[in-house]
Amino acid sequence: MPLEEQRVYVGMRVNKNIYNNQGTLIVPIMRVLTDKEIELLIRQGVTLSEQDVEPAPLVHLIESTIREVRELFAFANRADRIPYEDIQDKIIPIILFMSNHPNLNQILFYLEVHDEYVYRHSIAVALLSKLIGKARGFNDEQALELMTAGFLHDIGKSRIPGAILNKPGRLTEEEFAIVKEHTLHGFEILKNSTGLPERHAYVALQHHEREDGSGYPFGLKADQIDPYSKIVAVADVFHAMVSKRVYKDPLPLYRVLMELSDNVYGTLEPASTLSFLKRIMDMLIGNAVELSDGREGKIVMVSAQDPVRPIVEVAGEYIDLSKRQDLNLDKIVF
């Protein structure tokens, strides 16, 4: 089977040990397949069939990717660079597989827990950045580049002491100043690395810049900020707000969406924020909700102009929340 056809098995796991013709083990049982394993099998003259693989449980898939991310951060801390080709072979194909998974909601939910937050956050921001890019009309190549930039946006945190990153209380001014340096560290690490687009380094540098100039490290405004950095900023802020951290509980999803909506013309880029809100709300069509008056219903339609105020069906009645200032969504029921 040609390599391109074998790639349909990326993201799946082998259900037995795979040996080459000389009897050497090349892929152990339960290994989740990436492009690297597929290419190895092809070079060894080994062809997989549907009987050799099975879907990898989401938890297993995510945890195996987190292990790879942990190793990447450790490498960056030691070497002041990243092995970009290895990332393209071992990590990016799995994240791309996740991004196209029918249970993307479940994947994002699993990434919200606080354990090893920075690694989970890197994966989630990659997925959410691609989601925004596709909603804004990016082609597959652009969306993949954006996803990869999102994945690497916090690589500079590999240089920040764990005692500060994982501190359970409020950071001091001095500690926060150290954390903010991760943008500069990330830029340096990615500039030191070979083979990756220069834009990835600028996303690491600029993802905390804000439209109104209130961000860091340079206080850039609007058109001074790289467009991909603006998209990654939305993904970064959203995931940070909905995630459980060592020092805070997560905010309810709808409250986060409302805060982003209220800030559409504030610190984050309006086009990316609106595209993101519309895409997330579209994913919630058919989902149960509770209104501010206590009634329960379900989302049936979402407006591009005001996505967080959808049309809701309640006991056979259709209520357009964009026309009801006295009524809001109170919570999304999962």
pLDDT in tens, 135-181: 999 999 999 999 999 999 999 999 999 999 989 888 999 999 999 99
Question: Is the full-model pTM beyond 0.75?
Answer: yes
pLDDT digit string, tens, across residues 287-314: 999 999 999 999 999 998 899 999 999 9
User: Residue 326: what pLDDT?
Assistant: 93
Q: Is 45 exposed, middle or buried (0-12, 13-18, 19+ CB in 10 A)?
A: exposed
- Tell me how far the alpha carbon of residue 142 is from its chain's centroid: 16
Q: Would you list the domain boundaries of the chain?
A: 3-55, 58-250, 284-333
pLDDT value for 114: 61
**Topology of the domain comprising 58-250:** Hypothetical protein af1432 (1.10.3210)
Query: Which class is domain 3-55?
Result: alpha beta
Among 118, 128, 117, 71, smallest CA distance to 95 is for 128
